[in-house]
Amino acid sequence: MRISEVRALSTEELSETLYSLKEQLFDLRRKKAVGGLERGEDITEVRRDIARVNMVISERKLGINKELNEGAGGNE
């Protein structure tokens, strides 16, 4: 999930996405514990997606303008 996709979501959708991602992370960790996880990178990807969602939620709470971030180099 790219940061531009996350920023396009409404606040309610962000909350739902965050809940879903946390469930996915729990499931992946459970699979890892029993030895059924095929790709360890999946945990990293989900953790990064959770961080992106949390960042956008924090930006909105603080009132940080997304146009300021787009001019900062465009790294996504």
| pLDDT higher than 70, residue 9 | yes
The pLDDT tens digits of the residues spanning 12-66 come to 999 999 999 999 999 999 999 999 888 989 999 999 999 999 999 999 988 886 6
SS3 letters for 15-64? Answer: HHHHHHHHHHHHHHHHHHHHCCCCCCHHHHHHHHHHHHHHHHHHHHHHCC
* Residue linked to tokens 């900062």: 72
Per the CB < 8 A criterion, the answer to whether 19 and 27 are in contact is no
Q: Which two tokens stand for residue 11?
A: 């606040």
